[in-house]
Structure 1
């Protein structure tokens, strides 16, 4: 049975708006990065040499390629044919990589439709155009912002699909995105003297986090602190009226400088949240609280954001079983459920869970679900509370009702796993109930769901 959800609060979307909304007149600040000394020397040599005459050794090149030959299969389709028969396949109506335009727009359409495996397949076709297809690892090829964005998308999808072996193998070629050929100045014939890195900040963050997907949490945290140290240096440089890389005196306006500092301060906060998430995965709750305190002490938060961060600290204290410390961090207007917002109701519910007061917890989650009726986490937590209160049948009915009412929204892995676990607790003859869920998945969902959540083996 899935546990009460206590980690959703660490989603950066609850704190930040998109950095694209930051009013910066060019990509100069978004592309900025401080290369290592070795990379800096190579780039300086390229910048002062005749184009095409300075070719770095292979060790200084980024040479990625696909390790997956052929396409990923639609496991939901395969399972439905296996368990329900070929006739069920006529109800399968999802996009494949061949059903969309063979470009970035097609990739976006697949992702929006929840067809992540098909999107991985299309990304492979698009990367092959850059000479980075199957079997091309360790073969030199040119990089562009577009090719690197394709790689970021592909690796993000592999992470979401938990295709760990492929993710690990295909990400290693990028190391920490510091090779000279990741910078614009490496290609003067294409970009002239354009400043900065072709790789997005989000790509750097993803690569830093990837070791955590295969259990190397310390490596991930070390990677994130390395990015944090560079980011802090760039903010320091801006405050000293230098460019982000510290190479020259800044020539931008005061407003542009402040916008740049705001951009990089926001990115610094995203790094800290990644460190917190990795700390929680490795159950290093003390580090998580320390970094959350650092995050809280940054000066850029409004009152709502401060409450969100305090709530996060309180929830980590609940992980530790320290209800008193958690209560000090949580902010409640009063004790009446009908006047608390969703976050406050969830916090109160989690406190009740920590005290084994499952009926009180259920009441809090139910009050929150009235405000946000499509919040999957709340419905899931309500079902768990019902189970602990001995109301197994009611817990099953709650989840089934929501799946029937809105299958596209509620046919999610945590819900499916909990439903199948409840079915097993309810009766030994539960296979038909599981097959009914498979039938709904086949008809309403894309190809991203891990079929093992149905526990059909």
Structure 2
């Protein structure tokens, strides 16, 4: 269901169907301005219906577990062409009282006149010294030999320019491990390389954006232990050295946080990736409380941090739009976290409140309602899901709306009506033939209707027709499971898939999806 790579545009002007369809982890890579970090990747998202043992249905990108990627429904980040105004509002944050006191002391003191207490410093560093290896190359060497392995042609951190452009090139090529390796080299320049955790160093918006990129890629690669160790030094980004005013010699009296809002959301969510969903939920609610406080300040005519600032009416309206958008993004992160914890009741409640609190455009409202319906399916409440899908058996499906056809297909799956589901997914695929998720779902329906060989042929055909797009972890895992059901001699077919991965894919894929017993 996840696409190999998305060109993510951080300039969030308004909601578009393409953004709703293709958004992913790239939400974490937006920044306070247009940078090289703007165009990144979407993750492989788990879904509420998936199991490892059997081929599973792909839930389309309007499902709760993948549709709600924060900036898909609300795109309020870009509201002005005046860079100073954008920076002022986008950088705003309310520090804790202790941090506020420290910053006030720094602002009223002679530069360099204060001895820095280690407790007020953020001291990150790399947790690994060696570069991450390419698992596809390693597996190819192990199973197919040196000749096949030597033919692999993918970018590494040493093959690109040692700067942000090189980082972007690696990410666009699907070489996320190479990008992690390069990010480590670039962070070492800031004195934040291996062994530097708990060592003081200076921070800049650029260094924090490098960390943001690195931690996002580690999230994508499911490197949970490394992710936990490298994210912890940042805490909740509230230490004084996370604010511009901490460095008066560089930024004067410039207010606000050097860390982007999306970095805050990422750090808040990270505990959920290593099994601490409750901690992540608490973190997200703290972010939500601060965002709500900022909105309240703006509505009362104050600045975001509660200061007495004078805005013209247009500027105040733009800032409210920005922060209301961020409130929605935070709520969506809470939904994602709740789904990860399988707390579908909470997810449904938050979504219902979100649905009713904003006047959505028709297409947005229908998509959001559809996603709520899929949460009800996860709860096993087919009747509630049907109401949210706004479909009934008496009314024929709209043959031109892929989303409605998919909704009907999912309803049929929930009712074990696999032939009906097959018809729906096939109709949707006719409208969107390049959609790999639909091909996957058709194959699973074929399996459940007793047409195993047809399912295998369909998925192999998709792989042959468009290997770059079709070679996705979830699809490969399903196909390898079908091979095992189809024959006791499935290894050769799996090795053929490995050859395709060696030829067409970067270093980001989890080789375990081939089920080769590595």
Question: In the alignment, what sits opposite 1:186?
Answer: 246
Q: Does residue 1:36 correspond to 2:77, yes or no? A: no
Q: Contact between 2:218 and 2:224, CA under 8 Å: does it hold in 1?
A: yes
Q: Does residue 1:307 correspond to 2:360, yes or no? A: no
Q: Does residue 1:290 correspond to 2:349, yes or no? A: yes
Q: Does residue 1:270 correspond to 2:345, yes or no? A: no
Q: Does residue 1:252 correspond to 2:311, yes or no? A: yes
Question: In the alignment, what sits opposite 1:5?
Answer: 58
| Cα distance in 2, alignment partners of residues 2 and 51 from structure 1 | 63
Match of 2:429, SS? helix
Q: Does residue 1:223 correspond to 2:283, yes or no? A: yes
Q: TM-score, normalised by structure 1?
A: 0.97
Q: Does residue 1:50 correspond to 2:110, yes or no? A: yes
| Cα distance in 1, alignment partners of residues 76 and 504 from structure 2 | 30
Q: Contact between 1:184 and 1:195, CA under 8 Å: does it hold in 2?
A: yes
Find 1:370's aligned residue among 418, 430, 434: 430
| Cα distance in 2, alignment partners of residues 9 and 244 from structure 1 | 29
Shift of 1:294: 1.5
The structure-2 alpha-carbon separation of the partners of 1:435 and 1:322, relative to structure 1 and needing over 3 Å to count, comes to same
Shift of 1:134: 0.2
Shift of 1:156: 0.4
Question: In the alignment, what sits opposite 1:149?
Answer: 209
Unaligned stretches of 5+ residues in structure 1: none
Q: Contact between 1:76 and 1:447, CA under 8 Å: does it hold in 2?
A: yes
Q: Contact between 1:337 and 1:367, CA under 8 Å: does it hold in 2?
A: no
Q: Contact between 2:272 and 2:337, CA under 8 Å: does it hold in 1?
A: yes
Question: In the alignment, what sits opposite 1:328?
Answer: 387
| Cα distance in 2, alignment partners of residues 361 and 8 from structure 1 | 21
| Cα distance in 2, alignment partners of residues 16 and 95 from structure 1 | 35
- CA deviations 1:316-343 (Å, max 9, x no partner) are 1111111111111113599444534121
Shift of 1:429: 0.5
Question: In the alignment, what sits opposite 2:125?
Answer: 65
Shift of 1:207: 0.5
Q: TM-score, normalised by structure 2?
A: 0.86
Q: Contact between 1:176 and 1:207, CA under 8 Å: does it hold in 2?
A: yes
Q: Does residue 1:449 correspond to 2:509, yes or no? A: yes
Find 1:94's aligned residue among 154, 164, 167: 154
Find 2:493's aligned residue among 433, 437, 446: 433
Match of 1:98, SS? helix
Shift of 1:15: 2.1
Match of 1:225, SS? helix
Match of 2:477, SS? helix
Q: Contact between 2:77 and 2:322, CA under 8 Å: does it hold in 1?
A: yes
Question: In the alignment, what sits opposite 2:10?
Answer: none
Q: Contact between 1:209 and 1:274, CA under 8 Å: does it hold in 2?
A: yes
Deviates more, 1:143-152 or 1:1-10: 1-10
| Cα distance in 1, alignment partners of residues 397 and 367 from structure 2 | 18
Q: Contact between 2:55 and 2:482, CA under 8 Å: does it hold in 1?
A: no
| Cα distance in 1, alignment partners of residues 141 and 355 from structure 2 | 51
Shift of 1:21: 6.0
Q: Contact between 2:95 and 2:238, CA under 8 Å: does it hold in 1?
A: yes
The structure-2 alpha-carbon separation of the partners of 1:21 and 1:73, relative to structure 1 and needing over 3 Å to count, comes to farther
Q: Contact between 1:80 and 1:438, CA under 8 Å: does it hold in 2?
A: yes
Question: In the alignment, what sits opposite 1:342?
Answer: 402
Q: Contact between 1:332 and 1:340, CA under 8 Å: does it hold in 2?
A: no
The structure-2 alpha-carbon separation of the partners of 1:337 and 1:93, relative to structure 1 and needing over 3 Å to count, comes to farther
| Cα distance in 2, alignment partners of residues 118 and 43 from structure 1 | 38
- CA deviations 1:82-131 (Å, max 9, x no partner) are 11011112431111101111111111111111000000000000000000
| Cα distance in 2, alignment partners of residues 366 and 297 from structure 1 | 33
Find 2:176's aligned residue among 97, 116, 122: 116
Unaligned stretches of 5+ residues in structure 2: 1-53, 60-64
Q: Contact between 1:22 and 1:263, CA under 8 Å: does it hold in 2?
A: no
Q: Does residue 1:403 correspond to 2:456, yes or no? A: no
Deviates more, 1:31-40 or 1:330-339: 330-339
Q: Contact between 1:338 and 1:367, CA under 8 Å: does it hold in 2?
A: no
Q: Number of residues paired by the alignment?
A: 456
| Cα distance in 2, alignment partners of residues 437 and 18 from structure 1 | 42
Question: In the alignment, what sits opposite 2:298?
Answer: 238
Q: What is the RMSD of the two structures over their aligned residues, measured on CA atoms?
A: 1.6
Match of 2:416, SS? coil
Find 2:263's aligned residue among 200, 203, 208: 203
